């Protein structure tokens, strides 16, 4: 199956994938580590998850030569990446998709890439076990019900202030809110947390309580009702930081209908 189609055979939502990104996934899925490494620049940053809890630190590799060695050491893996949403703005490319493994199991992944003329300069990826609910398509890709960045600023601002009613008000009544395992709260489970209504979400916000850390969005690209963002969490205990990527879709009233987030500690550096 071509990378330009998702697991249903449909064209991904949003923008076409940059050619270096197409080449990376094609060569990686084809078991060609040298060619996959050649899609990166000499000084690229490559940060991907390894086996363990999904919030564990990324393993960061710097430089094309080190990336090549890492991919060679990993060896061939029987899996295919299917991108379902891609948004591109300048050198920034953000994607959500599904990884289909050889045993038929599917995982959800997101990635933030910085792509230049000479190749991929930075690659940050996350994954979680299993497929989440599909990206909703009830609102046309040609329609922009609201500015996603405004909704996110309102949501994060309210959460950081402990105004949970205002935070929950940014979401649709029937929202799917899928969050990585909570950290620095009373919930120490490694399980992903999901809520399927605004009422459930509001109850969860109150249960978790106001936290001491804050959020900052560093990239946000929207296409129609869909957006992907990358951000950082700051003021964690002992001066720590985290990195996150979230995918969201708006309903026709401009509220967040689907919110899928990924997170790791510590934060992953820029170039």
Q: What is the pLDDT of residues 17-75, one digit of tens each?
A: 999 999 999 999 999 999 999 999 999 999 999 888 899 999 999 999 999 999 999 98
The mean pLDDT value for 205-211 works out to 86
Domain assignment of residue 63, yes or no: yes
Domain assignment of residue 20, yes or no: yes
- Same domain (yes/no): 34, 124: yes
Residue 185 has pLDDT above 90, yes or no: no
pTM above 0.85, yes or no: yes
- Same domain (yes/no): 211, 111: no
**208: buried, middle or exposed (CB in 10 Å: 19+, 13-18, 0-12)?**
middle
What are the distances in angstroms from CA 114 to CA 89, 173, 270?
10, 35, 10
Q: How far is residue 89's CA from residue 120's CA, in Å, rounded to a whole number?
A: 14
Q: How far is residue 79's CA from residue 102's CA, in Å, rounded to a whole number?
A: 5
Domain assignment of residue 4, yes or no: no
The pLDDT of residue 209: 83
The pLDDT of residue 255: 98
SS3 state of residue 131: coil
Q: pLDDT band at residue 162, thresholds of 50, 70 and 90?
A: very high
Q: How far is residue 49's CA from residue 30's CA, in Å, rounded to a whole number?
A: 20
- Same domain (yes/no): 122, 22: yes
Domain assignment of residue 134, yes or no: no
Phi-psi category of residue 217: left, alpha or beta, with phi > 0 → left and psi -120 to 50 → alpha: beta
The pLDDT of residue 188: 67
- Could you tell me if 41 and 62 are in contact, meaning their C-beta atoms sit under 8 angstroms apart? no
Tell which of 81, 98, 129 closes a domain. Answer: 129
Domain assignment of residue 136, yes or no: no
The pLDDT of residue 2: 41
Pick the closest to residue 244 from 268, 226, 208 (CA basis): 268
In this structure, what token pair is assigned to residue 195? 């809520």
CATH number of domain containing 199: 3.10.450.50
Q: How far is residue 241's CA from residue 58's CA, in Å, rounded to a whole number?
A: 13
Report the chain's mean pLDDT, rounded to a whole number: 92
The mean pLDDT value for 123-149 works out to 96
The pLDDT of residue 98: 97
- Same domain (yes/no): 123, 55: yes
DSSP type of residue 11: P
Q: pLDDT band at residue 214, thresholds of 50, 70 and 90?
A: confident
Phi/psi for 35 (5° steps) reads -70, -35
Residues 172-182: tens digit of each pLDDT: 999 999 998 76
The mean pLDDT value for 215-221 works out to 95
Residue 118 has pLDDT above 50, yes or no: yes
Domain assignment of residue 253, yes or no: yes
For residue 170, the enclosing domain spans 148-264
The mean pLDDT value for 183-187 works out to 59
Number of independent structural domains in the chain:
2
């Amino acid at each position: 199956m071509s990378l330009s189609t998702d697991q249903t055979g449909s064209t991904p939502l949003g923008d076409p994938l940059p050619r270096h990104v197409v080449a990376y996934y094609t060569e990686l899925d084809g078991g060609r580590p040298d060619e996959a490494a050649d899609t990166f620049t000499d000084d690229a940053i490559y940060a991907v998850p390894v086996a363990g809890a999904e919030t564990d630190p990324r393993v960061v590799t710097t430089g094309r030569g080190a990336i090549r060695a890492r991919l060679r050491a990993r060896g061939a893996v029987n899996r295919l990446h299917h991108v379902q949403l891609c948004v591109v703005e300048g050198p920034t490319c953000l994607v959500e998709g599904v990884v289909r493994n050889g045993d038929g199991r599917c995982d959800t992944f997101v990635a933030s890439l910085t792509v230049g003329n000479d190749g991929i300069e930075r690659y940050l990826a996350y994954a979680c076990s299993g497929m989440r609910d599909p990206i909703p398509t009830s609102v046309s890709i040609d329609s922009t019900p609201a500015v996603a960045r405004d909704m996110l600023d309102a949501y994060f601002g309210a959460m950081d202030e402990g105004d949970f009613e205002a935070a929950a008000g940014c979401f649709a009544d029937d929202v799917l809110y899928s969050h990585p395992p909570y950290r620095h709260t009373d919930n120490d489970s490694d399980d992903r947390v999901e809520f399927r209504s605004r009422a459930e979400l509001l109850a969860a916000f109150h249960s978790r309580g106001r936290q001491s850390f804050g959020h900052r969005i560093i990239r946000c690209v929207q296409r129609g009702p869909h957006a992907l963002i990358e951000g950082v969490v700051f003021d964690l205990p002992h001066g720590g930081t985290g990195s996150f990527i979230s995918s969201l879709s708006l309903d026709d009233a401009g509220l967040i209908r689907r919110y899928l987030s990924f997170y790791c500690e510590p934060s992953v550096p820029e170039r």
